[in-house]
Amino acid sequence: MKDFHDKVAAITGAGSGIGRALALQLVAEGARVAISDWDADGLAETALLLKEQGAEPHSTVLDVRDRVAVHAWADAVAAHFGAVNLVVNNAGITIFGTVEESPYEDIERVVDVDFWGVVHGTKAFLPHLAASGDGHVVNVSSIFGLFGVPTQSSYNAAKFAVRGFTEALRQELLIARQPVGVTCVHPGGIKTNIVNNATASNAADTAGIARVFNERLTRTTPEAAARTILRGVRRGRPKVLIGADAVAVDLLVRALGASYQRPFAAVSRRLTASLAAPASSKKGSA
């Protein structure tokens, strides 16, 4: 897919962040877009922004965990526009908690959204993408699909699964000579709401974590991330790293192998201690 003019793109998680930025960028490049999110208010805001650009988006409130609903959405988008060329499976959530602390329900929720949502979106749209003659699947993994992080085991599991699923899919389509490209995206720290909206299975200070993440770890805007993703699609890249942090982690993990885990655990320990310190000082001064 060399350009997006008059192409039809479907995007999950389009109510904010990267999904919204992708929709706006695609419309600016002449595409027609279908957007979905389970956040009705955020989705409505995105739709309004698109209409201000002169677009007529197909907008659907959608829970990507619902297989039947995702397939119905894909068929509705294809019927509405007459074809679908691009799907971006972007919707995602995270819940903080160690393996021991996390109830099965929290683990299942993250995996259902972050992995099964990708599977549902891929399988639902794949026939339409192939029929278009110029299709592309973009599945959003994460920097956490490159290395493991304490308290993020369920998110790690889902994002590693997205990576494996997507790499296998790409090879299958190459073997079958299908006219569908495949790209797996690994964003680093992006200024989105995923951490702001996160909950916890433990007593984690989610507000503090979000503050540290936003102040120290987010260096890339959603708009820059969207440009990088679309450039990767145009170039047919199988893997797209977003941000210097994602590039650095990818290189470091490949260089160190499993040995990366000890120093990363030490960093995580220091980060946890730094989050606890303000709370302790506040208690002492009360």
Q: Which residue has 């891929």 as its token pair?
A: 122
Query: Is residue 108's pLDDT more than 60?
Result: yes
For residue range 6-51, what is the model confidence (pLDDT) as tens digits?
A: 999 999 999 999 999 999 999 999 999 999 999 999 999 999 999 9
The secondary structure element, H or E, covering residue 250 is: helix 244-256
pLDDT of 279 reads 40
Closest CA to 200 of 190, 191, 209: 209
pLDDT value for 273: 64
Statement: residue 193 has pLDDT above 60: no
Based on the residue annotation, tell me whether 155 is a catalytic residue of this protein: yes
CA–CA separation, 92 vs 100, rounded Å?
Answer: 22
Q: What is the structure's pLDDT at 272?
A: 67
pLDDT tens column, 51-69 = 999 999 999 999 999 999 9
Task: Tell me the backbone φ, ψ of residue 87, rounded to 5 degrees.
Answer: -125, 135
Query: What mean pLDDT comes out for the span 165-172?
Result: 98
Angstrom distance (rounded) from CA 231 to CA 189: 19
For the cut 90, the answer to whether the pLDDT of residue 110 exceeds it is yes
73, 81, 155, 264: which one is catalytic? 155
CA neighbor of 61 nearest in space, from 70, 52, 53: 70
pTM over 0.75: yes
